[in-house]
Structure 1
Amino acid sequence: MGKTDIGNRKDVSLLVHRFYEKVRKDPEIGDFFNSTIMDWPGHMEKLIDFWETNLLFVQKYKGNPIKVHAELDKKVGHKIENYHFGIWLRHWMETLDAHFEGPNAEKAKQRARNISVRMFMAIFEERRPLANN
């Protein structure tokens, strides 16, 4: 059976779960997630809401992921670098390619690229006052 496109919440859930299985095991970025997320089932639901909103335009997600990631960077001693977002993106692309193909899968790739740049820039901007001291 061939791969299909992302078409519903079940597909988004599969994508998010398979992706975070990889991320949590990654020796370079896993600890950022494993040391800070205490409620994985709740967090996964929030992530599924986020991607369902972004890909299928189902208005479920409420939150500010850019602010959350800037706060996370502060908690981990300002150790998150662009390099880490590259690893995150690689896992995202591999997970998409393993399970899906089609316009929404491509949209998921483009949105992840855009999100990773915006998040890293927000982290960088949040650090700027540190550099001025």
Structure 2
Amino acid sequence: MARPDFCTEEDITALVHGFYGRVRADAMLAPVFDAQIQDWDKHLAIMCRFWSSLLRGSGTYTGTPMPKHVALPGLTADMFHQWLSLFRETTQQFSNPEFAERAQDFAERIARSLWFGYQINNEPERLPTELAHD
């Protein structure tokens, strides 16, 4: 359940910008994101609204992320694992353990959902595989 009292909008902004800073510097993920995102400022603003809606219940995000993600070419489980690893590195930088834990829990659920959706849409004849935990 989202609770606006355990983190601030500034925490959300720091999370989003810190995480995507890592993504943009990552040899595996940067090419995937850079090929799709033309305006990083706009994307970061959308991601701040997304995470604020999840974690604080702000209701500022509207959208459907699944169609955009399933249309990407060549995604692999390793990419999702790397995404989660970078997210974990980012959340570990926060001194607020409740914020870090909740954000990480959401990230794991999001990665799992997007990975299942990606597989179902791109390989409908195969059973989707689970993202194994690190």
TM > 0.5 fold call: yes
Residue 10 of structure 1 deviates from its aligned partner by 1.1
TM-score by length of 1: 0.85
CA distance in 2, matches of 1:59, 1:104: 18
Q: Hey, what's the Cα distance between the residues in 1 that align with 2:21 and 2:123?
A: 33
Could you tell me whether the CA contact under 8 Å between 2:94 and 2:100 is conserved in 1? no
Counterpart of 1:62, as a letter, is T
Q: Which residue of 2 aligns with 1:120?
A: 115
Q: Distance in 1 between matches of 2:38 and 2:6?
A: 28
What aligned pairs does 1:85-104 form with structure 2 within 5 A after superposition?
Answer: 85-104=80-99
- Superposed, which structure 2 residues align to 1:34-53 within 5 Å? 34-53=34-53
Bigger Cα displacement from structure 2, 24-33 vs 99-108: 99-108
Q: Once the 2 structures are TM-superposed, how far is the Cα of residue 6 of structure 1 from its aligned partner?
A: 5.9
- Alignment partners' CA distance in 2, 1:112 and 1:102: 15
Higher relative contact order (CA 8 A, sep 6+): 1
The one-letter amino acid paired with 1:91 is L
Aligned to 2:58, the other structure's residue is in SS state coil
Secondary structure in 2 matching 1:33: helix
Length, aligned pairs only: 122
Report if aligned partners of 2:91, 2:100 keep a CA contact under 8 Å in 1: yes
Question: Which position in structure 2 is the counterpart of 1:110?
Answer: 105
Q: Distance in 2 between matches of 1:105 and 1:129?
A: 35
Deviations 1:45-100 (A, max 9, x none): 000000000111100001111121112x2xx3xx1011101000000011110124
In the aligned structure 1, how far is the partner of 2:62 from the partner of 2:15?
20
Residue 101 of structure 1 deviates from its aligned partner by: 2.7
Please give the TM-score of this superposition, normalised by the length of structure 2: 0.85
Q: Which has the higher helix share?
A: 1
Runs of 4+ in structure 1 over 3 Å off: none
The AA in structure 2 aligned to 1:118 is S
Q: Is the Cα contact below 8 Å between 1:69 and 1:119 reproduced in 2?
A: yes
How do residues 49-88 of structure 1 correspond to structure 2 at under 5 angstroms?
A: 49-71=49-71, 73=72, 76=73, 79-88=74-83
